[in-house]
Amino acid sequence: MINEKFAIVADVIKNRRSIGGAKMNGKRIADTTVMELLELAHWAPTHGRTEPWHFFVYTGDALLQFGLDHGALYWNNTPEETRMQATREKLENNIKMVSHMVVSVMKRGTNEKIPHIEEVAAASAAIQNMLLGATALGIASFWSTGGMTLKPAMKQHLGLGNEDIVLGLIFLGYSDEPAKPGIRNSSAADKIKWMN
């Protein structure tokens, strides 16, 4: 039964779009608003209530420094024959119009009964909560795994353990450009097998 609440949630889910840092306008989101989004993240489902999501929030000068550090991580961990100055500069610059960047991490706890994959699933759901909250507030968001995000060097940079996983860099900001219409290559029905 479709009711008003469902319609609002469905509208937010279907209209969440990835809007990259280059399309953001540099306007700052209030820190308190970012905290509200992270509060939504905290209400993701969590098997055994391990709550494996952890966030490093960067803004202002710290965000610019992260861009420089990301560029340096790339440069220092890529063979001389393949590394490119343009890629380094992109990593340094692509956060310049971003308001806040939330490095989203699955931190493995001590409850070994919960399989690693479940912790990744829970922390990913937390990210989606944040993205949906942002959409509802007219905040542009982008989930990036670009550059060194998934490399061991990034884990080391963040002081993470072996079993922890950086799931993404979540860019948040405002954009003046209307989001492009969403695209899916298939219909939902294509992915569903009913057993009646």
Ligand X SMILES: Cc1cc2nc3c(=O)[nH]c(=O)nc-3n(C[C@H](O)[C@H](O)[C@H](O)COP(=O)(O)O)c2cc1C
Query: Which element (helix H / strand E) includes 93?
Result: helix 85-93
- Give the C-alpha separation, 85 to 75, whole Å: 8
**Any bridge partners for residue 165, and if so which?**
106
CB of 145 to ligand X, least distance (A): 4
For ligand X, which is the closer residue by CB, 18 or 77? 18
CB of 91 to ligand X, least distance (A): 12
18 binds ligand X (CB under 6 A): yes
For ligand X, which is the closer residue by CB, 75 or 143? 143
Q: Could you say which residues in the range 56-75 bind ligand X, by CB under 6 A?
A: none
- Residue identified by tokens 């989606």 is 128
CB of 111 to ligand X, least distance (A): 24
Taking CA atoms, 14 is separated from 6, 30, 39, 76, in Å, by 12, 25, 21, 40
Give the residue, chosen from 122, 168, 170, 173, that forms a contact with ligand X under the rule CB under 6 A. Answer: 168
Question: One symbol per residue from 96 to 125: x for binding ligand X (CB under 6 A), - otherwise; what is it?
Answer: ------------------------------
- Give the C-alpha separation, 151 to 76, whole Å: 12
CB of 61 to ligand X, least distance (A): 24
- Give the C-alpha separation, 33 to 19, whole Å: 18
Of 54-62, 85-93, 143-151, 153-161, the window that binds ligand X (rule: CB under 6 A) is: 143-151
12 binds ligand X (CB under 6 A): no
Contact 147, 89 (CB under 8 A): no
What is the pairing mode between strands 140-144 and 165-173? antiparallel
Look up residue 76 and give its two tokens: 């220092």
For ligand X, which is the closer residue by CB, 28 or 125? 125
Handedness of CA 72, 78, 81, 86 (dihedral sign): negative
CB of 185 to ligand X, least distance (A): 10
- Site residues for ligand X per CB under 6 A: 17-18, 143-146, 168, 182
